[in-house]
Amino acid sequence: MRADAVRNLEAVLTTGARMLAADPGASIAAIAAEAGVDRRTVYRRFASREELLAAIYEARVEAIERAVEDARLREAPVAVALHRYVEGIIGVNRKWPVELARMKADETIRDRRDALIREVDAFLERSTGEGLLRADVPAAWASSLLPQLMHLASQQLPELTDAQAADMVVDTFLRGLGGR
């Protein structure tokens, strides 16, 4: 693919992610206009709206997979892994702010998302076992609170770097659910 085409593709994907996060019903015409390309150009890369969405969600899920891998949730000390994970996801949230939960259509992406959730849940379980989190907190509560905190930090603290925002999230999370 030609270099300018790559740039256009990149623009459509990131702009699309941003606009779809703000309004899940954003039209292809609107996304294309915002990305600075013609509506027709989008249809040359993607056969349908669904395919464009799938590509965007795929970009996000892949970025998350990379972040999870980098955090080494299974091996690294829990406190270290937690911070690395949070920092990574905040970066992902800022580049690909779409909500993955909306992707009900694509089987593959849903499966990869489920696997990631299991991975993080297992990590939280390990964290509880090692005393980082209190044992009397429902697993579902910890499991859903962490993504929300990361989501919040990603957009509510725009002046902070990923690492600084991660500090805030980890601090709140551990004070809120952590052991003494």
Partner DNA sequence: GGTAAGTGCTACATTGAAGTGACAGTTACT
Partner DNA sequence: AGTAACTGTCACTTCAATGTAGCACTTACC
For DNA, the binding residues (CB under 7 A) are 1-5, 8-9, 27-29, 36-41, 43-45, 47-50
Residues 102-141: x/- map of binding to a copy of itself (CB under 8 A)? ------------------------------------x-xx
Which residue's entry shows tokens 């500090």?
Answer: 167
Q: Which of 115, 144, 161, 163 binds a copy of itself (CB under 8 A)?
A: 144
Least distance in angstroms from the C-beta of 31 to DNA: 8
Of 55, 157, 164, 167, the residue at the interface with a copy of itself (CB under 8 A) is 157
How far, in Å, are 8, 12, 52, 93, 150 from residue 4 at the CA level? 6, 12, 19, 26, 34
Determine the Cα–Cα distance for residues 92 and 54; give it in Å rounded to an integer. Answer: 17
Closer to a copy of itself by Cβ: residue 37 or 146: 146
End-to-end CA distance of the chain: 55
- Least separation in angstroms between CB 49 and DNA: 3
We find the least distance from the C-beta atom of residue 47 to a copy of itself, in angstroms, to be 21
Q: Backbone dihedral region of 77: left (phi > 0), alpha (psi from -120 to 50 degrees) or beta?
A: beta
Do residues 28 and 53 lie in contact, with contact meaning Cβ atoms separated by under 8 Å?
no
Task: Check: CB of residue 57 under 8 Å from CB of residue 109.
Answer: yes
Q: Is 164 in the site for a copy of itself (CB under 8 A)?
A: no
For a copy of itself, the binding residues (CB under 8 A) are 23-25, 138, 140-141, 144-145, 148-149, 151-152, 156-157, 168, 172-173, 175-178
